[in-house]
Amino acid sequence: MSTLFPRSTDYNIQISEEHEAFRKVVREFAEKELAPLTAKIDRDNEMDMELVKKAGALGLFGVPFPEEYGGSNGDDLSLVLATEELARFSAAFSAVIGANYLVSVPLFLFGTPEQKTRFLVPIARGEKLGAHAMTEPGTGSDVAGISTTATKEGKNYVVNGKKMFITNGDKADTYLIFARTSAPEEGKRHRGVTAFIVEKGAPGLKVGQRINTIGLRGDQPVELIFENLEIPEENVVGELGRGVNVALSTYDHGRVGVAAQGTGLAQAALEAALNYSTQRQTFGEYLLTYQQVQFKIAEMAAAVQTARLLTYWAAALTKKGKDFIKASSIAKIAATEAAETNAHKAMLIMGANGVSAEMQVERILRDSQVIKTYEGTNDIQRLTIMKEIAKEMGVV
C-alpha cells in the first residue's frame, strides 16, 4: 500500500453475506443482553461475568481462528464488526473480549502446536480469559525498556518484576508475560525480550492493586507482581529474545480492534444526539430544526462514516495479507478521535443533560480517553505512519 502511488485495489472492501449475518447475531446479543446492563456495569465498576460467559458461548473469543483451534473460522473483518456492535453499548465489555486476542493472536501466530492446543483452544472457545502483560511502571510505549527479568535455572525461567495497567489481569486464567532474558544488544535495544505463557495460580504470580482509570469502568486494569515466578522453558512463545517482535505483531492486529471500539462509541454518540434533538424542544421548536445543531450532527455523521470505512479498510488489508500496519494506525487515530469529538458535540447539543453522569455520552467521552491511549497512544500511531512512509521512500 503505497502512500505516493496507491493502487485502486488497495481500497477494495468486500463484506459478504456471512459477515452481515454475523453482525446481526452480535447486534441482537448487544441490544438484548448487553444494553440493559451497561449503566450498571459502569456505575458499579464491575463486569458482569455471566454475560462474558454468554459472549464466549456465542463464539466471540475465537472469531478469526480456524475451527481446529476452537475458533469460528472467520477473519479480522468479522471481529471488527463484532467489536463495533459491542462497543456501541459498552467499550468496557468489548475490552474484556478484546484483551483476550492480545494473548490468543500471538499464540496463533507464534505458538507451537502444543501451545495452541493447551492454551489457545480454551481461550478461543470462551472457556478461559487471557491477559497480556507488557507495560511496566517505568515504561509505556517503549516496550524495549522493560526491566522485568527472566533468569534461566535448569529447565525453568525465574521471573521477577512488576507490570502495570494490565487489562483482565484480575480475571485472567492465562497470561502472556514479557521479560528480559538477556541484556539489550548495543544498537538493538529490542533484542533480549522474551514472551512467556503462564497460568493463573502459578506460585510467584500475584495480582496487585486495581488502577482506577477515567474510562472503561467495569474492566479496570491491575498491576501484576512476579516474585520468583517459575515458568517452564516449553512455555516460551516465539523465539528466545525476540519477544518484542511477538508484541509488535500482536499490536498491529490489535489496533484494528481499537479502531472498531472507537467507531462503535462514535456511532453511539451520534445516536444519542439524534434521539435527544428530535425529542427536546426549546422556544417551541425541536432542537434538530436549528442550523447549529444540524451542523454538529452532520459533522458527527461524517466522522462515523470516515471511521467505519477506515476501520473496515484496515481489516480488509489484514485479511488479504497485505501491508496493513499503516492502515491500522490511520484507522485507530481517526476512529478513537471521532469517538472523543462526537461525544463532545453530543454534550454541546444536550446541554446540562449531556454532562450528567446518568447520560450515555458522559461515559463515551471518558471511554474515548482510554482507547486513545492503549495499543500505542495516538502520537505513537503518527510515528508509526511516518516510519512506514519513510520505508516506502527508501529513507530508512
Instruction: Point out the residues that are catalytic.
Output: 375
The set of cell numbers assigned to 81 is 464488526
For every residue of 354-381, DSSP letters joined together read: GG-TTSHHHHHHHHHHHHTTSSS-HHHH
Distance between CA atoms of residues 379 and 205, nearest Å:
33
Among 285, 283, 296, 291, smallest CA distance to 361 is for: 296
Among 272, 259, 269, 270, smallest CA distance to 371 is for: 259
Among 278, 283, 326, 332, smallest CA distance to 80 is for: 332
Distance between CA atoms of residues 267 and 316, nearest Å:
21
CA 39-172-245 angle, to 5 degrees, is 110
Distance between CA atoms of residues 163 and 392, nearest Å:
36
